[in-house]
């Protein structure tokens, strides 16, 4: 009888722990997805510079954007790659250059992780700048999916980006030609732009559109 009581007590304790663990994992998934999405602009800059994803490493990604962290490059070929989150609590991956961010490790077709806009930042130059940069980074997977379907970026609009990911917000498409594009995000007094796919995001407004198409 005493042994039975101890067994029941142990089972109840485990049952109490399991929901808390599951809740923690659900909380960690958006954070891991944000880490993965943050790396994509620098990865596309690497490809534009090298003509391939071969040789891609975290160190080379960070050479373009020092803020990228908690990811690992699991595969890199001429035309595709897969990166995976490394933060404890949840694992997500992105099999680029197009497609959604998914739960699980590279090679596993996990659940799609929808984009979740960041919570409003505390009004300050630093906070607004960070939010503007996250807005731009979040749009990259949908933009690359559009380019793959349309043989380039020409005709790109916010509405068309949102047809790939309805969570994209806080950006505007200033111009788009076949080989490149420029987005802007203004939050408070801070404006950042992304002249993709070859350049990292930078403060200020977009440069003039190129004469070439």
123 contact partners, CB below 8 Å, separation of at least 6: 188
> What is the tens place of the pLDDT at every residue in 22-62?
444 445 888 898 889 888 888 988 888 888 999 999 998 88
For 77-109, how does the pLDDT look when each residue is reduced to its tens digit (9 = 90+)?
999 999 999 988 889 999 988 888 999 999 999
pLDDT digits (tens, 9 = 90+) for 143-181: 988 888 888 899 999 999 999 888 899 999 999 999 999
pTM here? 0.50
**Residue 68 DSSP code:** -
Q: How far is C-alpha 173 from the geometric centre of its chain's CA atoms?
A: 18
pLDDT digits (tens, 9 = 90+) for 40-49: 888 988 888 8
122, pLDDT greater than 80 = no
Nearest-angstrom CA–CA distance, 106 and 85: 10
Strand order in the sheet with 202-203: 172-176, 181-187, 190-196, 202-203
Q: Rounded to an integer, what distance in angstroms lies between the CA atom of residue 171 and that of residue 40? A: 17
The pLDDT of residue 38? 86
The pLDDT of residue 4 is 47
Give the residue, 113 or 10, on which the prediction is more confident. 113
């Amino acid at each position: 009888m005493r042994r039975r009581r101890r067994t029941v007590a142990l089972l109840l304790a485990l049952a109490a722990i399991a929901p808390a663990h599951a809740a923690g994992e659900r909380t960690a998934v958006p954070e891991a997805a944000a880490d993965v999405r943050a790396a994509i602009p620098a990865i596309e800059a690497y490809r534009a510079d090298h003509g391939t994803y071969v040789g891609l490493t975290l160190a080379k990604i960070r050479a373009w954007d020092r803020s990228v962290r908690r990811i690992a490059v699991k595969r890199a070929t001429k035309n595709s790659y897969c990166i995976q989150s490394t933060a404890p609590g949840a694992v997500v991956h992105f099999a680029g250059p197009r497609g959604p961010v998914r739960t699980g490790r590279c090679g596993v077709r996990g659940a799609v992780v929808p984009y979740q806009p960041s919570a409003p930042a505390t009004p300050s130059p630093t906070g607004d700048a960070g939010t503007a940069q996250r807005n731009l980074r979040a749009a990259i997977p949908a933009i690359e999916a559009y380019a793959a379907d349309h043989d380039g970026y020409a005709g790109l609009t916010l509405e068309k980006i949102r047809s790939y990911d309805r969570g994209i917000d806080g950006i505007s498409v200033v111009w788009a030609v076949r080989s490149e594009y420029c987005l802007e995000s203004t939050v408070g007094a801070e404006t950042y732009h992304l002249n993709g796919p070859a350049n990292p995001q930078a403060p200020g407004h977009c440069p003039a559109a190129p004469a070439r198409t």
